[in-house]
Amino acid sequence: MGKVLVVYFSAQGHTKRVAEMIAGELGADIFEIQPSEPYYDEDLDWTDNGSRVVREHSNEAEREMELVQLRPDNWAEYDTIILGYPIWWGIAAWPVDAFLRGNDFTNKIVIPFATSHSSPLGDSDRLLAAKASGMREWREGIRFSQDAGEDVVKAWLGELGLVSSEE
């Protein structure tokens, strides 16, 4: 699958931890999707009707956002993008949307993964695929529990043929 870049968005650290595990296993480069306006704890309070995520969830136009860096360095060099995101209300956390819309995926393979408390991957990866342009292939994704261990992550990389599953 050529040169791999692990790209992730993480508001609370769980997806970051899994992304770092993947990059560590593969010896791959890693890139964090960072909204220019970061999410603070109070922004993520889904029990507060006035919080930022609740407003963005109920109004799609509010999900548009600028990123600190839209295009990873040396973007053209990567053949495969492993893309990680948290599940928010059953779909992919939307800071990923800006990354997908703003980059050219021509000739790239995208392999998504999500972390969640309990929700499955659902349609989250399929909905994201529609937002990226020109990619060579969008693979079926996987959902990890928010506290996924190294064993399950490594087993997945083994299934993808990215690491040897034999020790």
Smaller CB distance to ligand FMN: residue 47 or 164?
Answer: 47
Task: Give the interface with ligand FMN as residue ranges (CB under 6 A).
Answer: 10-16, 44, 46, 53, 86-90, 115-119, 146
CA distances (Å), origin 76, targets 100, 106, 128? 15, 9, 21
- The nearest distance, CB 166 to ligand FMN, in angstroms, is 30
Smaller CB distance to ligand FMN: residue 5 or 93?
Answer: 93
- The nearest distance, CB 79 to ligand FMN, in angstroms, is 25
Residues in the chain, how many?
Answer: 167
Smaller CB distance to ligand FMN: residue 90 or 134?
Answer: 90
Distance CA 134, CA 136 (A): 7
Which helix (H) or strand (E) segment holds residue 8: the answer is: strand 4-8
- The nearest distance, CB 96 to ligand FMN, in angstroms, is 11
Number of helices (H) and strands (E) in the chain: give both, helices first: 5, 7
- The nearest distance, CB 66 to ligand FMN, in angstroms, is 19
How many alpha carbons fall within 13 Å on the CB side of residue 158?
10
Smaller CB distance to ligand FMN: residue 86 or 112?
Answer: 86
